[in-house]
Structure 1
Amino acid sequence: MTVIRKSLAAAGCALLLAVSAACGGSGKADAETRARQSLDRLGEWEAVSVTARIEAPAGRIHEFLRRGHGRGTRPAVSRADARLLARAEVALSVGADRPLKDVGDGDRLDTAASLGFGGPDLAGCRSIGTDFYVRADWTGLAGETGGRHDTVVQAASLAASADGLPPSLAAARDLFRGRWVQIDPEEFDHFARAVGGKYGERAQRLANSVDLLQSAEAQHRLIRSVRRALDRHAGFRDAGRADGAERIAVSLPARAVAGDLSAALEPLEERAGGIGFAWLEEAPDREVTVVLELRGGTLTGMVVDLGQFLREEDSGGLGELPLALDIAPGEAVAVKAPEGARWLDPQDVMAAVLYGELGSRAR
């Protein structure tokens, strides 16, 4: 697992824990009561959106990644990837057919996400019931990543000749043109193989993650388990005001919470076919803090300093590295099945690759 995944997964876990804690507990502390009520207000909507970004310069992000990389034999962290992270923005929307506070254990939560780098969205996915859809602007992604990822580069080259594909490969043509297609997430590794990229463990973990998102039972089991774990650990306190927002700090003993969460996720480990939660064991043995931002009594944002997840001996002099989440009712990304999305099989992608190769040889 890369340091990027370890650090951001840990930070994302802490954010999830803070939200769940705000929903539970006895409400004895005034700050906790206000935090819980801010979540209740969001629950009155049928959809809620979160936009995430790292508010730090690329040089500081690179230093954070370098320090967290450890003293192993893996390749050095790329400055180019740090620059990309500094510009990246991810939007996630969650929706249901009723107010979120009324969603029961058997009800599904649909999701949609997009990725951009300061301009139009370059990639997106939607999980609607048991159906999963994806789209990507391969040329745009290749430009942003500078040709460092084989799968993206190969897909971008295929996009340039997609118009010449026959009607029988219409779904593959749509994929390379940047249109929505419907796929089976379990086939991610085959898609990567078809366009010449790396596949295997990473693709399977991604497929398992999507599988969890699509399972209402898994979603609600995770939420309940996290709430129970956080009831024992989270502490709330007023943190003043900034930029017109009321701030509440949520303190979490990271190692204790990680242990409880690891135990809570154990049933999912078997179901997910080894998705892996070992990274929880690397949580720092100290308190970390997540800051909630409230406006008009509604939760509108969360901020966590990623530097808290470094070892103490590696964190000195780094400066803050805020992961900021803007939260709002409604859909920042449409949570519905895209119209006209064709079903795409991995063999269609392989056929499109072979068709393109034969065409280039004939010219």
Structure 2
Amino acid sequence: MLDRPHGHTAAVRRFNRFYTRAIGILGDTYLTPDFSLTAGRVLYELAHRDGATATALRQDLGIDAGYLSRILADFEKRGFLARTPSRSDRRASELALTEAGRAAFLGLDARSEAEIDGLIASLAPGDRDRLAGAMAEIETLLEPRPDAEPFTLRSHRPGDIGWVVERHGALYAQEYGWDERFEALVAEIAAGFIKTFDPARERCWIAERAGRRVGSVFLVRERDAVAKLRLLLVDPAARGLGLGQRLVAECIAFARQAGYGRLTLWTQRNLDAARHIYAKAGFRMVHSEPYQGIGRDLVSEIWDLDLRAESGSIGPCGSDGCSA
């Protein structure tokens, strides 16, 4: 019996075997008897590129030159492909789909979409999000893009508010020793947001990474000209990624767009990482006083940002932070 690979290599190979079977690419053709998997991918690239060349396709897709040449020749024979002299290199030809070629692509694309829809149809919406997040994480790990953020932001939906309350309660108890009264306070704030939510002037952002919630922030109306930043949270699993800075930046941009003149927030003096983010964003501490009521003696602070002044800059931060 042959020795089998172990550890990470075995896990990747096991996933490859599962996935190729799940999406049905082990046969000679994929989705249609008219195209191999590689030919279908070439057709996709031609439909989404302007001025494509055989050299660029071969390099980007990692296809053997002879195999690609046979695919392109077959496309020409079917009337799918037109060649014109390259505008930048007279030795090369630019490739473009004809009307027949575009029609063939649209049919293949529709079948592909229907196939994937059927594959995930039985999954609950939350599980579909987890699946998409896990796939995005695989892409990020195996082919990292320096300009890509390792998280996504979205608006709230059912289930998120309960997570915000639970995560605040658990995290602050673990890291700062705050008792259940803080969780109750967060619950009151979150419930009030939902009860009176005005989408034109208020917003909740939920951050996700690999399909898992890792952060939140709320922008709520305080008065007609004043908004309040609330419930900034960055999970330990997502710290050091600039998420706290991004969440605060989203609040500031939305507050300006909604027509507020001032943005305020309430925090505690011991939340150093969050205070650093606020200072970088242009907030200034305007009031402080002793605070009790969540299991510790604290010093609460009010920070303000004048939205009519020049935009504050959010620069690099040593770590992300949490704040109520």
Q: TM-score, normalised by structure 1?
A: 0.21
> Which gives a bigger RCO, structure 1 or 2 (Cα 8 Å, sep 6+)?
1
Scaled by the length of structure 2, the TM-score of the pair is: 0.23
**Rg (Cα) greater in structure:** 2
